[in-house]
């Protein structure tokens, strides 16, 4: 199941994730559409289904949701792939955080930082919604799964039910009707 990636492929993957790390304003999940474009549509290293399953595993497990990136890495190249994608996504943002935190904190209320935060906020929201839409792709052909997506959105927006229960329910629906 592991596609054979060449050395230059891996270089490209690493570079891609390094760049995405710096673009991940508002969280790692916002970079999922770009990862999907790169890994699924451009290079066909993962299928739509594998991509959505990776995010589902990342969401079902405890811990920061950026771990879906480890699962994506595993999908394209096992343990090595996992280390490449995780190192790529973590190194730039953590380094930047270490050095820029005090600088940014002191200027948090300045016009420049405020303009950046305010100007980027709508894009973050659009990105998050795009991510959800793209993750639904493997399900759009199946009425039960489509209903699951719509149901999830309704329940999640209207109530405070823990996502874990919804994921478990989705697993049940999928196991019998997916």
Partner 1 sequence: MPTPEPTPASADDSAKMPVPDEAPSEMAGATAEDADASRSGPRSILDDESPRSPKSAGEIFRVFTRLALQGFGGVLPIAQRELVERERWLTREQFLELLAVAQVLPGPNVVNLSLMFGDRALGWRGGLAALGGMILAPWCVVMVLTMTYVHYAQHPTVAGALRGMGAVAGGLIFSTGVKLLPALRRNVLGAPIAFALVAAMFVCIALLRVPLFWMLAGLGAAGCALAWRRLKP
87 binds partner 1 (CB under 8 A): no
Q: Where in 94-123 is the site for partner 1 (CB under 8 A)?
A: 94, 96-98, 100-102, 104-106, 108-109, 111-123
Q: Where in 12-71 is the site for partner 1 (CB under 8 A)?
A: 19-34, 37, 41, 49, 52-67, 70-71
Q: Where in 138-167 is the site for partner 1 (CB under 8 A)?
A: 138-139, 142, 145-146, 148-153, 156-157, 160, 162-164, 166-167
The residue assigned the tokens 């109530």 is: 159
Spell out a b/e string for 104-143, using b for 16 or more CB atoms within 10 Å of the CB, else e.
eeeeeeeeeeeeeeeeeeeeeeebbeebbebbbebbeeee
In the complex, minimum distance from the CB of residue 111 to partner 1, in angstroms, rounded to a whole number = 5
In the complex, minimum distance from the CB of residue 6 to partner 1, in angstroms, rounded to a whole number = 22
Among 9, 12, 43, 90, binds partner 1 (CB under 8 A): 90
* Total of residues contacting partner 1 (CB under 8 A): 112
CA dihedral in degrees (163, 49, 175, 157; nearest 10)?
30
User: Whole-angstrom Cα distance, residue 24 to residue 15?
Assistant: 14
The answer to whether 86 and 71 have CB atoms below 8 angstroms apart is no
Among 10, 43, 80, 169, binds partner 1 (CB under 8 A): 169
């Amino acid at each position: 199941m592991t596609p054979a990636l060449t050395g230059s492929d891996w270089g490209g993957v690493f570079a891609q994730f390094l760049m995405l790390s710096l673009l991940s304003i508002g969280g790692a999940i916002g970079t999922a559409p770009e990862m999907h474009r790169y890994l699924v549509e451009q290079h066909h290293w993962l299928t739509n289904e594998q991509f959505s399953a990776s995010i589902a595993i990342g969401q079902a497990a405890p811990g920061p949701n950026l771990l879906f990136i480890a699962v994506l890495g595993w999908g394209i190249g096992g343990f090595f792939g996992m280390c490449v994608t995780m190192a790529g996504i973590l190194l730039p943002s953590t380094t930047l955080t270490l050095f820029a935190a005090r600088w940014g904190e002191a200027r948090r209320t300045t016009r420049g930082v405020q303009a950046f935060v305010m100007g980027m906020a709508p894009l973050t929201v659009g990105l998050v919604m795009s991510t959800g839409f793209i993750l639904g792709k493997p399900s759009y052909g199946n009425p039960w799964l489509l209903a699951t997506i719509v149901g999830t959105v309704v329940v999640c927006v209207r109530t405070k039910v823990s996502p874990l229960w919804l994921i478990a329910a989705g697993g049940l629906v999928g196991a019998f009707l997916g």
